[in-house]
Amino acid sequence: MNAANSNRATFGGRIAAVLAAAGSAIGLGNVWRFPGVADANGGGAFIIIYIVCVALMGLPLMVAEFSIGRHTRSNPVGAFRAIDRRWGWLGAMAVTTVFLILGYYFVVSGWTVAYVVNSAAGRVDSTFFARFITDPWQPLLYTAAFIAANHYIVERGVKRGIERASKILMPIFFAILLALAVYSLSMPDSSQAIRKVLTPDFGAVDASTVLAALSQAFFSLSIGMGIMITYGSYFKSETRLLPTAVNVALLDTLAAVIASIVILSAGVGDQSGSTLAFVALPEVFEGLPWGGFWSTLFFVLLALAAILSTVSIHEVVTVYLCEQRGMTRRRAARCVSAGAALLAVAASLSMGAWDDIRIFGRNIFDALDSLTATLLLPASGLLTCIFAGWIWDRRQFRGEVARSGGIDAKMFPTVGFLLRWVCPPLVAALFVFGLID
Ligand code: PHE
């Protein structure tokens, strides 16, 4: 650690570390992607395969990112550069990728807030979305409100902003999720949904299931984008990295599985993404007693899932500007919010007024989504595996992971082996199949 970085902020302890990282990991994907993918791939069988993917690929990569961050106490660009001067560009690639993701994630996040307000006012039905999304002002207004909340948290800093928000919002998220799960037991499809989640149907599993599980694990754990490097750089020296990563993965998987019960009970597992949340589900809620109340609660859940994820992305770019470009946190956070807001405006308008602006045949929103999800994320994930497995000096890496002895020291050889031999082919498969798909 160099002297300039020694007075950086840190999280209060292990619980803060777990909640902040879990806040990033648990996002819209847990609620609106996982359930449908699980449903189409053998239910419980998918969950088992998913957990294996998390263990073999997700955990080693997360531990590697935590170690890179904590060892260097730096943002992704500074971190890669500090370990090997020739690798700073990988950090730059990660920072660019998350910034692009922020642009369109802000847009859908804004929709969740719009749905909280409009569900509470009883204005949401199955036709609401089409009207809302083509309106030039409404989506922008809610996205602006969401960006403001996000900005507020990041500007307040690591401890008073991110740590505090995670400690308050994560428990609320889980409380709402549990309440919705209990409520969903009264829905007509609930016993079937629970059976699906609990009983593995391996007949529905094939090679594409494994790819789907890998890709979901990768995206859901927020790895390969410098986020876990950044958060790792705020961990205390005594925080144990492997148990922290395991806890993050457990919370993330738990959220996805409980969300599956809710989504499959509502009978909308054949949908995914914004169609599921903003069109199919409102239709279901419309026909249920107290539907407006539960629908509002559901969108609060989505908004909470979204905000801690966008905060983590925002933080990566903000701390990069602070440390590499010498800005104050305040100024850096403003630049990121303003820049992402511009992207968000373009992405938002591309769903309506600007739909005729096409990049490789896609509107701006979809172009940002596929550029990051199929190209940039897997590429930087693959390079991070290679860096941790093959480039970073083993003794230094081991020294960082095994600092607190115990299970971290014992498991290090396994983590190192997986990073060297197992993760690269798995992430490479994701990359290649994503491209040809
Ligand atoms: N992990 C989040 C999810 O499951 C998504 C996310 C992507 C978060 C990129 C941060 C950065 O939805």
Each residue's pLDDT tens digit, 332-357:
999 999 999 999 999 888 887 788 88
Those residues whose C-beta lies under 8 Å from the C-beta of residue 32, and which sit 6 or more positions away, are 263, 272, 273, 274, 276, 277, 302
DSSP label of 402: G
Structure tokens at 160: 């008073």
What average pLDDT does the segment 389-394 reach?
97
Q: Answer whether residue 176 shows pLDDT above 60.
A: yes
Those residues whose C-beta lies under 8 Å from the C-beta of residue 124, and which sit 6 or more positions away, are 115, 118, 282, 285, 295
Residue with the smallest CA separation from ligand 1 atom 3 is: 27
Q: How confident is the model at residue 125 (pLDDT cuts 50, 70, 90)?
A: confident
Angle (nearest 5°) at CA 391 between 60 and 53: 20
Torsion angle of the four alpha carbons 358, 359, 364, 370, in this order, in degrees rounded to the nearest 10: 130
Residue bearing tokens 């990073």: 419
Single out the residue of 117, 17, 139, 130 nearest to residue 66, CA to CA.
17
* Cα–Cα distance, 354 to 191 (Å, whole number): 44
pLDDT tens digits for range 294-316: 999 999 999 999 999 999 999 99
Q: CA-based Rg of the chain, rounded to a whole angstrom?
A: 21
At 200, phi and psi to the nearest 5? -75, 125
Angle (nearest 5°) at CA 141 between 139 and 142: 70
Residue bearing tokens 């005729």: 356
Q: Which DSSP helix (H) or strand (E) runs through 340?
A: helix 329-349
Q: Answer whether residue 175 shows pLDDT above 60.
A: yes
Single out the residue of 94, 95, 104, 131 nearest to residue 28, CA to CA.
104
342-to-17, 140, 346, 410 alpha-carbon distances in Å: 31, 11, 6, 48
Q: Answer whether residue 368 shows pLDDT above 90.
A: no
* pLDDT value, residue 265: 96
Identify residue 151 by its one-letter amino acid code: H
Query: What's the 54 CA to ligand 1 centre distance in angstroms?
Result: 15
DSSP label of 87: G
* pLDDT value, residue 366: 86
Using the atom order of ligand 1, give the atom closest to the CA of residue 25.
Answer: 1
* pLDDT value, residue 252: 98
Q: Is 187 left (phi over 0), alpha (psi -120 to 50) or beta?
A: beta
Higher-scoring residue by pLDDT: 361, 277: 277
Helix axes 291-325, 88-120, angle to 10 degrees: 150
Query: What's the 307 CA to ligand 1 centre distance in angstroms?
Result: 10
Pocket lined around ligand 1, Cβ cut-off 6 Å: 24-25, 27-30, 101, 219-220, 222, 225, 227, 309, 312-313
Query: What's the 24 CA to ligand 1 centre distance in angstroms?
Result: 6
Query: What's the 287 CA to ligand 1 centre distance in angstroms?
Result: 31
Q: How confident is the model at residue 367 (pLDDT cuts 50, 70, 90)?
A: confident
Using the atom order of ligand 1, give the atom closest to the CA of residue 222.
Answer: 1
Quick check: 279 and 96 in contact, CB under 8 A?
Answer: no
Q: Answer whether residue 374 shows pLDDT above 90.
A: no
* pLDDT value, residue 405: 86
Q: How far apart are the first and last CA of the chain?
A: 43
- Mean pLDDT for the chain overall: 94
* pLDDT value, residue 351: 81
At 405, phi and psi to the nearest 5? 65, -145
Q: Is the pTM of this model over 0.85?
A: yes
Using the atom order of ligand 1, give the atom closest to the CA of residue 219.
Answer: 1
* pLDDT value, residue 121: 96
Query: What's the 288 CA to ligand 1 centre distance in angstroms?
Result: 31
* pLDDT value, residue 1: 47
Question: What is the sign of the dihedral through the CA atoms of 165, 319, 14 and 98?
Answer: positive
* Cα–Cα distance, 24 to 14 (Å, whole number): 16
Q: Answer whether residue 17 shows pLDDT above 50.
A: yes
Pocket test for ligand 1, best of 96, 222, 317 (most atoms within 8 A of CB): 222
Q: Report the SS3 class of residue 359.
A: strand
Q: How confident is the model at residue 6 (pLDDT cuts 50, 70, 90)?
A: low
Structure tokens at 279: 């069109």
* Cα–Cα distance, 255 to 243 (Å, whole number): 18
At 177, phi and psi to the nearest 5? -60, -45
Pocket test for ligand 1, best of 219, 302, 307, 308 (most atoms within 8 A of CB): 219
Q: Report the SS3 class of residue 110.
A: helix
Query: What's the 331 CA to ligand 1 centre distance in angstroms?
Result: 25
Q: Answer whether residue 293 shows pLDDT above 90.
A: yes
